[in-house]
Amino acid sequence: MEPKDYIAARVAQEILPGTLVNLGIGLPSLVAGYIPADAGVFFQAENGVIGMGARPPEGMEDPDLTDAGGGFITAVPGAAAMDSAMSFGLIRGGHVDVTVLGGLQVDGQGRLANWMVPGKMVPGMGGAMDLVGGAKRVIVAMTHTARGAPKIVGTCTLPLTSERPVDLIVTEMGVFAPGPGGLGIVELAPGITLEALRAVTGAPLAA
């Protein structure tokens, strides 16, 4: 199993039946594939739909029905469409139960940086700042390192997405709960030792 698939499958275990969930683009979007269709989970795409479904068959795409990455989607029974003010009202207003986002850096207290690398890559924050600030539970799904460098760091050197700390970090090395006392270990992935984790983790581990 590729790290990203392992991460997506593990995040899916955190998604409770009957919840409203927003998945970021990239790795987080893979989580949907691990949620059973009968779980009653509704996925929001912040460009204006609750109840997005899988990509339609080739040639049957509706140009007016896309996800937040611009890809074609379907709408499941019970779906609802809305404008951007309502979509972000749902996000900022605390109506979204869980958001799963990618990360460039997260510190041991859970502060996330995921919207720019000054001077190099400035995609913009899109909806990330509203999602991290507004969703009831924020899960970061990311690989543990980038080109060998830790992504869980003592202090974020990249601009923060929000001052609100995230609730959970899932990587291919385990599941972590950041907090004031440092990075708490919820579980280690099979075969991962504490020493191996420490070697590629920049934040202090909670006692």
Partner 1 sequence: MKSALKTEAAAAMIPDGATLMIGGFMAVGTPHRLIDAIVAAGPRDLTIIANDSAMPGKGIGKLVSAGLVARMVVSHIGLNPETQAEMNTGRIAVDLVPQGTLVERIRAGGVGLGGILTPTGLGTLVAEGKRIIEVAGKPYLLEEPLRADFALIAARRSDYVGNLEYFLTAQNFNPLMAMAADTVIAEPEAIVPVGVIPPDAVRTPGAIVTHILERPA
Mind telling me the catalytic residues? 46
Q: Is 124 among the residues that bind partner 1 (CB under 8 A)?
A: yes
Q: Which stretch binds partner 1 (CB under 8 A): 77-85, 145-153, 180-188, 197-205?
A: 77-85
Minimum distance of partner 1 from residue 48's CB (angstroms): 5
Sign of CA dihedral 83, 87, 89, 90: positive
Q: Is 187 among the residues that bind partner 1 (CB under 8 A)?
A: no
User: Distance between CA 67 and CA 14 in Å, rounded?
Assistant: 22
Return the residues of window 91-120 that contact partner 1 according to CB under 8 A: 91-92
Q: Is 69 among the residues that bind partner 1 (CB under 8 A)?
A: yes
- Residue 207 CB neighbours (<10 A): 6
Collapsing DSSP to helix, strand or coil, 70 comes out as coil
Among 117, 160, 185, 196, contact with partner 1 (rule: CB under 8 A): 160
Among 2, 38, 58, 163, contact with partner 1 (rule: CB under 8 A): 163
Query: How far is CA 24 from each of CA 46, 192, 198, rounded to the nearest angstrom?
Result: 9, 27, 28
Residues 6+ away with beta carbon under 8 Å from 93: 134
Which residues of this protein are in contact with partner 1, per CB under 8 A?
A: 45-49, 62-66, 68-70, 75, 81-85, 88-89, 91-92, 121-130, 133-134, 159-163
